[in-house]
Amino acid sequence: MIRKCLFPVAGYGTRFLPATKAMAKEILPILDKPLVQYGVEEALEAGLTDIAFVTGRTKRAIEDHFDINYELEDQIRGTAKEAMLSGVRELIEKCTFSYTRQIQMKGLGHAILTGRPLIGYEPFAVVLADDLCFGDTAGHGVLRQMVELYAKHQCSIVAIEEVPRDQTSSYGVIAGVPIDDRLIRVTDMVEKPKPEDAPSNLAIIGRYILTPDIFEIIENTPPGRNGEVQITDALLRQAKEGRVLGYKFRGQRFDCGSVEGFVEATNYCFETFYKKQ
Ligand code: G1P
């Protein structure tokens, strides 16, 4: 049973400068909702109610977003605007939020290890909020699909997606043995390989389920690509023991860490949700 979801949010968001000079990239809105709220909604929908943030300087707005703003809420009480806060209100009521700071940016693996005191020794999910995901037609989110898989397989799971070959250097890339249409037992994984070195075109996207032994593995993982401690390298150790699955999720994902993906996500949400309101 998975209850906890870790959000590494300490990254600088340099691809969105100057917008992210003084503001968290996770607070950038797709329409009227911050990216990070979509991620927490996806976690709650998957039954994960313990939300843990690995945060950093300039990220205070995330904590404030998942809190009550008494003055503002007093101002709009009894008006139509009150309803605009009902979504985030529900998250605040149903979830608990905890925070720890990553003092130095030493990579995603290091960020996840920094979250260890908030997770303890139990399986947990990781969401990279700038990958915005929408689930299948039945409305099941990507994390929910992965939590259901975990119940059956009890091992680490990474969400994967086919990407054009020339984009492999932006992702962790896996190779493995198919189990069924959507599941692969991972045998190899490489962080941000050049297209000619990539073991496939199956890219890891920002949704993970990790078993807690990953923390000890990360502790013993030396810096890899870009001199950073990579979760991909740590997961490879589990994969070598047959303990990692790649899951071709049902649904859609937008790379909101890039301006193009951000605009695509905005258009998608406008067409799919906003116009239908
Ligand atoms: C991280 C991971 C990478 C993964 C990607 C998904 O990279 O290191 O393996 O494919 O997230 O978004 P980042 O985008 O933070 O550079």
Which residue matches tokens 């059956």?
152
pLDDT of residue 269: 95
Please, what is the average pLDDT of the chain?
A: 96
pLDDT of residue 138: 81
Cα-to-chain-centroid distance, residue 182: 20
Tell me if 107 CB under 6 Å of ligand 1.
no
Tokens of 227: 């001199």
CB distance 271 to 35 below 8 Å: no
> How many domains are contained in the chain?
1
pLDDT of residue 190: 97
pLDDT of residue 58: 85
pLDDT of residue 275: 78
Output the CA torsion 10→14→17→19 (10° steps): -20
pLDDT of residue 232: 98
CB distance 134 to 141 below 8 Å: yes
| Position 276 pLDDT exceeds 90 | no
pLDDT in tens, 15-30: 999 999 999 999 999 9
Give the pLDDT band (50/70/90) at residue 57: confident
Tokens of 207: 């949704």
Q: Give me the helix-helix angle, 35-45 and 142-153, nearest 10°.
A: 40
pLDDT of residue 110: 98
pLDDT of residue 213: 98
Q: Which of 12, 54, 108, 230 has most ligand 1 atoms within 8 Å of its beta carbon, as the pocket-test mutant?
A: 108
pLDDT of residue 249: 97
Residue with CA at minimum distance from ligand 1 atom 15: 108
* DSSP label at residue 180: S
Give the pLDDT mean for 40-58. Answer: 96
Whole-structure pTM value: 0.96
Residue with CA at minimum distance from ligand 1 atom 6: 205
Query: What is the sign, positive or negative, of the torsion defined by CA atoms of 69, 64, 258, 115?
Result: negative
Tell me if 108 CB under 6 Å of ligand 1.
yes
User: Can you give the CATH number for the domain in which 91 is found?
Assistant: 3.90.550.10
Q: Which of 170, 207, 226 has most ligand 1 atoms within 8 Å of its beta carbon, as the pocket-test mutant?
A: 170
**Within 10 A of 266 (CB to CB), how many other CB atoms are there?**
17
Q: Which of 90, 73, 133, 92 is nearest to 253 (CA)?
A: 133
User: Which residue segment(s) compose the domain that 97 sits in?
Assistant: 4-276
Tell me if 224 CB under 6 Å of ligand 1.
no
pLDDT in tens, 85-110: 999 999 999 999 999 999 999 999 99
**Within 10 A of 253 (CB to CB), how many other CB atoms are there?**
19
Q: Give me the helix-helix angle, 86-94 and 35-45, nearest 10°.
A: 50
Output the CA torsion 170→30→115→65 (10° steps): 160
Tally the C-alpha atoms within 13 A of residue 26's C-alpha that lie toward its C-beta.
Answer: 27
Give the pLDDT mean for 172-194. Answer: 97
pLDDT of residue 137: 79
Cα-to-chain-centroid distance, residue 33: 16
* DSSP label at residue 222: P
135 sits in the region (left: phi over 0; alpha: psi -120 to 50; else beta) called beta
